[in-house]
Amino acid sequence: MDAFSQVILIFLLFYLLGKTAEVLVSDISIVSRKMGIPIVFFGLILGFFTSFPELGIAINAFISNVQDISMGNLLGGPLVMLGLIFGVSAILNKRVHTDGKFRNVMPIAAYSFLPFLFGMDGVISRLEGTALMAGYFLLVYAIFLQQKRHAEGQKTVSFRERIVLREIFRIAIAIIFILILSNLIVGFTEGLLKEFHLQGFLLGIILFAFGTNLPEIIIMFHAWKKGMKDLSMNHLLGSVVVDFLIIGVFAFLRPITFAVGPGYFNGMLFTALVLVAFVYFYKTDKIFTRLEGSFLFSMYGIFLLSEQDRSSYSRWRRRSSDNTCLAACQRG
């Protein structure tokens, strides 16, 4: 298949992906209204299912014993979700309201930074994996209790209104289609980029930062179109914590070892900055503004630039070292 045909096919797949996401968001709205289930809980559930691309990469990396690739993808979750995707979402929505309660967002932020602390020695042990799994389920349980208390005193939904099997079935089918279409888009994009011999840095950004989070990006865009701002934010938070549940599961099965270097600590620093900013903006004035969204987005952009500069500097150092060795050999 030539490059032009691949581009046309990718655009067609994007169109189908957008239509599927539109159906998904609409049906979630219907089920949430009929069953009285808060959008925040739907967002967390949706975040679990749309993290399947990351799970697929983790399984392949686990089998091939190349966990560095998977760890980089999973640990990059907060930067991509809260910096890139939510930053854009806040810019598009202009205002995203929150409950402004520190106790509701701080545990998620703390849990999202925990794997970086565990991995500073280059190993996520079985004990640390168990802690990550336990932390995830405690978070979900705490959110469930919070939403249950919030629902007390609300109008009881009749049994007839609860019969939403058609919408639930459509939601399940839409999630499956989104995952399949996203995987196809990533596959065709990889082939296209390799055909044009683009640099590995750009390839990595598209395939991992963009590709594995394509479901979240598409759902965020359609949640914005439907005016369902809460779904977008809570869906992204759900995806972030599921990434670390995946790390916990695989570390429990077999301790994860990976290289720790400047790139790791650079990612750790920017993740900490994004998480602190997200918590601060969540609490202040109970709202995310367009300016705050721009700040989160800019942090992700600065991180990418710092990684590019660091990679360029490393290549320059290697070339300089090689040239020095060559000159010494010639003099000898």
Mean pLDDT across the stretch 250-268? 85
Q: Say yes or no to pLDDT of 219 above 60.
A: yes
State mean pLDDT over 213-225.
72
Query: Which has the minimum average pLDDT: 93-97, 132-136, 198-202, 206-210?
Result: 198-202
For Cα atoms 154, 159, 164, give the angle at the middle one, nearest 5 degrees.
100
- The full length of the chain comes to 332
* pLDDT band at 280; cut points 50, 70, 90: very high
Tell me, yes or no, whether 126 lies in a domain.
yes
Q: Which long-range contacts (CB under 8 A, 24 or more apart) does 97-103 make?
A: 97/229, 97/230, 97/286, 97/287, 98/233, 98/282, 98/283, 98/286, 98/287, 98/288, 99/286, 100/282, 100/283, 100/284, 100/285, 100/286, 101/283, 102/279, 102/283
CATH code at 213?
1.20.1420.30
Contact 49, 259 (CB under 8 A): no
User: Between 232 and 158, whose confidence is greater?
Assistant: 232
Q: What is the reported pTM?
A: 0.72
Question: DSSP E strands: which ranges in the chain?
Answer: 95-97, 123-124, 256-257, 287-289
Residue 67: inside a domain: yes
What pLDDT band is residue 114 in, cutting at 50, 70 and 90? very high
Domains: count for the chain: 1
Is pLDDT of 231 > 80? Answer: no
- The answer to the question of residue 330 being in a domain is no
Percentage of the chain modeled with pLDDT above 90: 16
Tell me what the mean pLDDT of segment 110-132 comes to.
93
Does residue 328 lie in a domain region?
Answer: no
CA distances from 143 to 136, 137, 165, 212, 217 (A): 11, 10, 25, 26, 24
For residue 205, the model assigns a pLDDT of 46
Residue 313, pLDDT > 50, answer no
Q: Is residue 81 part of a domain?
A: yes
Residue 241 pLDDT > 60: yes
Give the pLDDT of residue 157: 47
The residue type of 67 is: Q
Q: Is residue 206 part of a domain?
A: yes
Contact 58, 250 (CB under 8 A): yes
In a domain, 266, yes or no: yes
Which strand (E) or helix (H) includes residue 47? helix 39-49
- Please say if the pLDDT value at position 159 is more than 50: no
Q: For residues 88 and 210, is the Cβ–Cβ distance under 8 A? A: no
Range of the structural domain that residue 51 is part of = 3-323
Given this model, what pLDDT does residue 48 score? Answer: 73
Per-residue pLDDT tens over the stretch 75-107: 888 888 889 888 988 898 888 888 888 888 898
pLDDT at 275 over 90: yes
| pLDDT, greater one: 246 or 315 | 246
Higher pLDDT among residues 74 and 50, named by residue: 74
104 lies in some domain = yes
* Separation CA 107–CA 146 (nearest Å): 13
Residue 187's CB is within 10 A of a number of other CB atoms, namely: 14
Q: How confident is the model at residue 51 (pLDDT cuts 50, 70, 90)?
A: confident
